[in-house]
């Protein structure tokens, strides 16, 4: 559905793997379903690393069916930062992507997006703040949790979950 050059996509993936600090010898497979216009993506395996996505994840919203290099870098970068997390002891108990609670999954995405921004990629701070608020409430506690997730270089899964829970706890009953 999206017109893309596999070599250009490979170059973007390699740059994002480097930005996330993935080991050079780590086998990474990017499986792209180019029959779907949707934009879902996930980490489906860690041995080898398999990230799956639908072609809409790479689509330029202003130019339908065309590759957005910044969008592709954003999706792959966030996925690869999360892969890097999964390779650490601090994320050993993180559930598979399919089993992530929505709020905790968004919190982890925010943490990945913040690191991606510091790696020099377009990460859309306000978009992620709004997405976080939609899951965690429009509260001071939620904003404080977001700021910590966005600015932290290293958090564990337990810390990501705790920040998500603290934000959720601040929602008025």
Domains of the chain and any CATH numbers: 6-87 (3.30.2010.10), 92-169 (no CATH)
pTM exceeding 0.75: yes
- Give the mean pLDDT of the chain: 91
Instruction: For residues 114 and 3, give the distance between their C-alpha atoms in angstroms, rounded to a whole number.
Output: 29
Q: Which two tokens stand for residue 85?
A: 């997390």
Mean pLDDT of 160-165: 97
- Cβ(104)–Cβ(55) under 8 Å? no
Say if residue 173's pLDDT is above 80: no
Give pLDDT, residue 2: 60
Task: Give the strands of the sheet with 28-33, arranged side by side.
Answer: 28-33, 49-54, 41-46
72, 51, 82: which is closest to 4 by C-alpha? 72
Mean pLDDT of 117-141: 94
For residue 24, give every residue at least 6 positions away whose Cβ sits within 8 Å of its Cβ, in sequence order, or none: none
Say if residue 139's pLDDT is above 60: yes
More confident residue, 82 or 1: 82
| Tens-place pLDDT, residues 63-79 | 777 778 888 899 999 99
CB atoms within 10 A of CB 103: 18
Give pLDDT, residue 3: 66
Residue whose entry in the numeric block shows the structure tokens 């709020």: 103
Q: What's the chain look like in SS3? A: CCECCHHHHHHHHHHHHHHHCCCCCCCEEEEEECCCCCCCEEEEEECCEEEEEEHHHHEECCEEEEECHHHHHHHHHHHHHHHHHHCCHHHCCCCCHHHCCHHHHHHHHHHHHHHHHHCCCCCCHHHHHHHHHHHHCCCHHHHHHHHHHHHCCCCCHHHHHHHHHHHHHCCCC
Q: Label residue 20 by pLDDT band (50, 70, 90).
A: very high
Q: Which two tokens stand for residue 123?
A: 């990460």
């Amino acid at each position: 559905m999206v017109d893309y050059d596999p070599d250009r996509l490979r170059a973007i993936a390699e740059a994002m793997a480097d930005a996330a600090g993935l080991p050079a010898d780590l086998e990474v497979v990017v499986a792209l379903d180019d029959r779907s216009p949707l934009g879902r993506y996930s980490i489906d395996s860690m041995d080898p690393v398999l990230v799956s996505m639908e072609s809409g994840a790479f689509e330029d919203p202003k130019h339908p069916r065309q590759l957005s290099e910044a969008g592709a870098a954003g999706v792959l970068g966030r996925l690869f930062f999360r892969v890097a997390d999964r390779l650490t002891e601090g994320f050993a108990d993180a559930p598979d992507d399919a089993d992530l609670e929505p709020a905790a999954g968004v919190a982890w995405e925010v943490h990945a997006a913040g690191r991606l921004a510091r790696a020099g990629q377009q990460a859309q701070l306000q978009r992620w703040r709004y997405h976080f608020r939609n899951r965690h409430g429009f509260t001071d506690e939620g904003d404080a949790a977001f700021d910590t997730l966005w600015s932290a270089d290293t958090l564990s899964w337990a810390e990501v979950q705790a920040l998500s829970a603290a934000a959720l706890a601040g929602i008025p009953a």
